[in-house]
Amino acid sequence: MILIDSSFAVEWLAGTARAAAVALPSVPLAILPLQYAEVCAVFLRHHTELTAIIRELDAIELLHPDRVHLQQGAALYHRTRKKMRTTKISLADAILAAVALDHGARIATFDRDFLTLGFKGPMGIVSAV
């Protein structure tokens, strides 16, 4: 499974060259509710019509984190912020990382903060260390 981060989804849906250069393997894709909302917010800021974007997003499984994922994400966020005070990781990214770790999933992202959260790989698709 590959979890889609909002940084990747925005570029993928906008059809950027950077996103087009990422070869997504034939595995299930999923997005968490907060990343789904972040993508909608970005497109609302730049576009008036969301119908096509929502159609594309709705083709991806919406995966809901459970309470344990939320707790693990909060702990990961706190540990990382405490250790690296200058990092600007978001709680949403930390929760996505916790879900990915639990599911053994990779993350499609262009957000370098996932490297700070313990993932590795080229920007586009990262994996847990």
- CATH code (residue 26): 3.40.50.1010
Q: Which domain holds residue 15?
A: 2-128
Which tens digits make up the pLDDT trace of 5-57? Answer: 999 999 999 999 999 999 888 999 999 999 999 999 999 988 767 888 999 99
pTM, entire model: 0.89
Which parts of the chain fold into alpha helices (H)? Answer: 6-14, 17-20, 33-46, 51-58, 67-83, 91-103, 113-116
Number of domains in the chain: 1
Among 111, 89, 128, which Cα is nearest to 1's? 128
Which tens digits make up the pLDDT trace of 48-64? Answer: 678 889 999 999 999 99
